Amino acid sequence: MPLPKPVQAEEEESFLTRCMSDKVMIEEFPKLEQRFAVCKIQWDAVEDEEEEGTEEEEEDTEEDALIKFLQKISKATNFPTAGDDETVSLQNSKYELFPLDFAERVREKYPKVWGLGGNVLGNEQYKHLYTIRNEDIATDALTPRQVEAIRLREAWSARHLEDFRIAGVVAQIKWHVVGDKGVEYMKKLVNEEIEKRYGGGE
């Protein structure tokens, strides 16, 4: 599938936000830094020629550019949905957080079940979101990567709340999200899978 490209009259900030959360981009470039670099290349490829004479200053590194971009979108957050302007935080999310203690027990004690859902990005998301919740990190102390993890969770949740199979439920847990059937349904399904594979439940 083709990569996102800027459309007519689209601002750089708007394009980068759209590109970073694009499903194909997330699948093809699960690492944030790599995905940002590709999105930036897509943007730079269509920049107006009039900007060519303004590049006298030393260019930012990709990391600097990423930080500046995330700082920009944090000022006009469009969070939790486009048009909103709330602080990017798990507390302001539209989606309920899955209980952390249950998730950790499954991850630590039942790897065969934990491995049923999600992918590399899901595991990475779990790690970043776990740190935020477990350490109770204040909003103003979040790193750019943690802010992005919260944004990605919001976008992912909007598309995956109705997956009620075991693989989908485990993926929801990795993204710290409660699906549409609720916490108890999710726990019951996971416990049934644990019973099936290990002979016991949580």
Give the confidence band of 181 by pLDDT, cuts at 50, 70, 90: very high
pLDDT at 81: 78
Domain ranges for the chain: 12-76, 92-198
Mean pLDDT for the stretch of residues 135-159:
91
Please write the tens of the pLDDT for every residue from 29-45. Answer: 787 777 887 888 778 77
CA 184 to chain centre: 24
Average pLDDT over the chain reads 84
Please write the tens of the pLDDT for every residue from 9-29. Answer: 888 888 888 888 888 888 877
- Residues 6 or more apart in contact with residue 118 via CB below 8 angstroms: 126, 170, 171, 174, 175
Residue 147 DSSP one-character state: H
On whether the CB atoms of residues 113 and 193 are closer than 8 A, the answer is yes
The Cα-based distances of 157 to 13, 51, 98, 147, 170 in angstroms read 22, 38, 12, 16, 13
